[in-house]
Chain A
Amino acid sequence: MSVSNLLENWAQVRHEHPINDKPHDPYKWAMAIDLDACTGCNACSVACYAENNLPVVGREKFQHGQQMHWMRVERYWDEDGREFPDQGFQFLPMMMCQQCEAAPCETVCPVAATNHTADGLNSQIYNRCIGSRYCSANCPFKVRYFNWYDYPTTDNVWPAEMTQQLNPDVSVRGKGVMEKCTFCVQRLSAAKVVAKGEGRIVREGEVQTACQQACPTGAISFGNLVNPESRVHKQWEAQQVVLDKDKQEKDEKEERAVLRGYRILEELRAYPSVMYLERVRESAV
């Protein structure tokens, strides 16, 4: 894509949601993650490695910050200086691409390699990416991962037999390309193709992301936000979290809301598609 072409056609490759001319129809993929159910066990993260052909980079590259885990479990202590963390950790299961509706990464990509799909995903086009890494620099969640090496040919990443484990539905990325969580777009595409063939839209529960499928406590729900039957839709609605608001009405009220849905760094106006439900701790002990 030449610069002139890019400048002329910018509006076409840039697609920000929500906008009136292209509403989310019939799909808007979204998630709700319950921090109270998450135990921090990492099953989701391993599932992601298996499903999405993530390379294991090894100790040295990990030390250099070159790990490729699309999702990471973060955990935090209380900051009140107690001797022991006697209310446990606060796990943030799965910090991964929040599939922002107005994604800061998209606006800075010089080649429009990352842009918005009609079903509300922040997509990454590997063969368009030139590796400027502007997107990663501009991502407030730090969930974009850059291929500093050509992992398929790096020693001990996928030696001999291990290549047979690679998922043929997902491309193996080469050096110089940015990558990130896709909401398991290969699974979504497959489900959409099947549904289209049958003249309907994808039903609730018909498609699961790999992390959701593995999660032993069912902390993750995933689905079509515009489908009123979907669990995700019901959860967002019950928690009064609205996709295209940067300040939720419920938070404006004087009284402390009795709802626990929130989005991370909402004030940055990126409109993330992932809602988290606050962790709950018993007050009686």
Chain B
Amino acid sequence: MIDSGIDRRDFLKVLGWSGAAVALSGCGNTSIEDGKETVVSYVEANDYMVPGIGVYFNSTCAQCDAGCSINGRIREGRVLKLEGNPDSAINKGKLCGLGQAGVQHHYNPDRVREPLLRKGNKGEAISWDKAYALIAEKMAGVQGDEIALLSGGVSGHLKVLLGNYLDSLNTKNHFVYEAVAPGVVRAANQKAYGVEMPRYRLDKAKVILSFGADFLGAWVSPVHFSQQYAQFRKGVDGQRGVLVQVESKMTLTGANADRWLAVKPGTEGVLALGIINALGTAAGEVADLVKEYSLVRVSRETGVSVSQIEKVTALLKMRSPSLVLAGSAAEGYAHGSQNAAAINLLNQVLGNVGKTIEAPVSVPFPQMVPSKGNTAALKKFNDGLSAGKYKVVFSFGANPVFTAPGAFKFKDNFAKAGFKVAFAHYLDETALQADLVLPLDSALEDWGTQVPEYLTEGAQINIQQPLMEKLHANTRGVGDIVLALLKQKKSEEYKSYEDYYAYLRSALLQNKGALGGGGADDDTFWTDTLSRGIVKLAGSAVGLTGHQNVAGLKLPAVAEENEHYPLYLIPGVTASLRDGRHTNQPWLQESPDPLTTIVWDSWVEIHPKKATELGIVEGDIVEVTSRTGSVKAQVYIFPGIHPEAVSIPVGRGHDAMGRYAKGYGVNPFQIMDAVFEVETGELAMHETRVKIHKTGQRVLVVKDEGAAGALQMGRKIASRVSTDQIDLSKEV
């Protein structure tokens, strides 16, 4: 496949090699030891490397699925820093903290370096040949439906190749699982708009009413939304956009709202219908549906004052277009679909569909669009495991032993599978339960293509390419592993591909015309594509339907008080830790939580009123008990939470995954009940009820805020001004 004199991999080797020689660090590049490569002195260095000058290569961020394009700074063959690629319509040169910490995933000292085979409680290093032979041996005589694959979201050529492999095994058991995913909102959007994820135009909206969508923090495509948010604040025609956030626990987005409304957990839909009623513009069946929702009733059920609902309604009437968002707080209940439907109906009544809710574009290669992860898939997988259906199980890109709700007893069920293979970067909780662990290249060493779920201007295929030579000789790219396994089944078909790189190159070149490289010769097109890091495609707009069916919309009566477990448990999803897959990156551990400023630990957020009632002060260790289990953690008194709820952030509480993750904090997934959303079967993450009691211990909370807490003590440090006192139109 590769016939040019020097290809990109050779070039990276050169880069890595001389870097090692110059830095005199040895730096673990084992290619020195096997002596296969040529030392290139600086005297005759290639023109892409200038000693002491950083060069930049484009790739794609793999820290979450938003698909931001990155621009890696490389000096003397080492990747130093990740920055945003300005040419990407998604992140336009910007990058969040999580994305920037990607270098600490790559350089992490706790990466798995050799294939490991279980010997009792230990892993024994084996060769790749032996590992592949072992998989082939275990597969012999196993039926297709006795094989299962659990993965995180996959897209691009990896998805195609995986699909081919599963077909060759004659199995349909591919479970795509993401612990934190907008599964219910996708289904509700499909019903209301005809698409799972329309294109939200925050920048065009004059008012955003968000029901728990943390679009600045951890929701869908936060860097993109943050940029739109900046536009929204600058305003259309000089009128600054107004953000109203409705949720039971303040998120980063809520902390930036003009008005934050603490709503009783689960009553988001009631408030949405109440606002439709108060607007008074709906007719026909919509009017019939909402007429029961008088201001007084809505206020009583949601806890939001009548005057506040009136103000929000007046604002929505006055300023159009607006945008109403349904986020994870609204969808996390057993009636999440109904909540989301009510919220989507509000959008429709306000006439936002087609204005701030636009049709997304479709990717011209449907086989490459992402398989989106959700939690219903985990349930199915867990049920299968529990029934002992699977003889061979593969897992990668997810850590279900850590993120499955405690009530699933996932770890026990996982043990029932015959032979468990995990492709892993680190020995996380799931890899520790596997029989065979195959070490993966880091995201900065691997080849790949990715198609983001949330596309912005036009369709695009993101290119992932190595930013430096491999740190460890015995790791492999996930594509290489799948290709090797596929060759076991269909050697004739795939023998021409030496590796995944060759497959990828050939696959892209075959579609050169459709990818916009019509006239160019192969090498030019390929180099061009790699240097850009993005293939932009026209893509055609998908039609929006914009009709929320009212017939099926019925909100349940407000949940009764639970005598034994009086409080709601709200799992907090933070921008930097998400579901905990990157907790071992020390920059993220030491990056203070924006709302509480706590580092390196978990906490239980409690409203001051509730804390007083229970006699709890900051730093008290409390036991939080649900039907499923209990955890103990320090209390942080936090006014941004409903008094009937407590919140514990997810992502910490690992008992594996290396020195930076293990032993810090607690894992609230462990005490999560198995309650499901009625229509979609997704896990209802906000339905767990808990009780708390003091253990009598108290600790000093490790946090960044000073002794004055969050008070300015009368000084003008962070100042605020209201819109009626200011004229923004003359600003630079």
Contact = CB atoms under 8 A, between A and B. Distances in A.
Given A59-B702, A280-B722, A282-B723, A51 B97 contact: no
A156 B659 contact: yes
B592 A285 contact: no
Interface string B10-50: 00000000000001010110000000000000000000000
A264 B640 CA distance: 26
A59 B91 CA distance: 32
B109 A161 contact: yes
B327 to A, nearest CB: 15
A273 B28 CA distance: 44
A41 B575 contact: yes
Interface in B219-273: 222-223, 226-227, 229-230, 233, 240, 242, 244-245, 250, 252-262
Given A41-B216, A58-B600, A213 B720 contact: no
B705 to A, nearest CB: 8
Interface string A64-96: 000101001111110100011111111110000
B718 A279 contact: yes
A88 B255 contact: yes
A38 B646 CA distance: 27
Contact of A165 (B103, B258, B600, B660): B103
A127 B712 CA distance: 36
Given A35-B719, A56-B587, A84-B262, A280 B595 contact: no
B724 interface: yes
B103 A216 contact: no
Contacts of A87: 257-260, 720
A62 interface: yes
Nearest to A91: B718
Interface residues of B, number: 105
A256 B217 contact: no
A46 B101 contact: yes
B597 interface: yes
Interface string B564-588: 0000000000011000000000111
Nearest to A35: B718
Contacts of B242: 282, 284-285
B392 to A, nearest CB: 33
A39 B97 contact: no
Contact of B722 (A57, A215, A231, A283): A283
B551 interface: no
B625 to A, nearest CB: 26
A75 B718 contact: yes
Counting chain A residues whose Cβ lies within 8 A of the other chain, the interface size class is 35 or more
A108 interface: no
Nearest to A213: B83
A12 interface: no
A40 interface: yes
Contact of A280 (B78, B250, B586, B720): B720
B204 interface: no
A281 B258 contact: yes
Interface in A213-272: 213-219, 231, 234-235, 238, 256, 258-260, 262, 264-265
Contact of B664 (A41, A59, A231, A276): A59
Interface in A5-36: 35-36
B575 A42 contact: yes
B521 interface: no
A256 B725 contact: yes
Interface string A109-152: 00000000000000000000000000000000000000000000
Contacts of A42: 97, 575-576, 591-592, 594
Contacts, number: 283
A67 B704 contact: yes
B577 to A, nearest CB: 12
Given A75-B594, A167-B80, A85 B717 contact: no
B89 to A, nearest CB: 14
B183 interface: no
Contacts of A50: 80-82, 100, 103, 587
B254 A88 contact: yes
A160 B725 CA distance: 55
B639 A217 contact: no
B590 interface: yes
Interface string B691-704: 00000000010101
Nearest to A163: B25
A39 B732 contact: no
6 contacts: A50-B587, A75-B595, A90-B719, A216-B95, A216-B230, A258-B727
Interface of A: 35-37, 39-43, 45-47, 49-51, 56-59, 62-63, 67, 69, 72-77, 79, 83-92, 156, 159-168, 210, 213-219, 231, 234-235, 238, 256, 258-260, 262, 264-265, 276, 278-285
Given A85-B250, A166-B80, A215-B94, 12 more contacts: A35-B718, A42-B576, A43-B95, A46-B588, A67-B590, A85-B640, A165-B103, A168-B80, A214-B96, A264-B716, A281-B258, A284-B318
Interface of B: 23, 25, 27-28, 52, 75-76, 78-84, 91, 93-97, 100-101, 103-104, 107-109, 216-217, 222-223, 226-227, 229-230, 233, 240, 242, 244-245, 250, 252-262, 308, 311-312, 314-315, 318, 471, 575-576, 586-592, 594-595, 597, 599-601, 609, 639-640, 659-660, 664, 700, 702, 704-705, 710-712, 714-728, 730-732
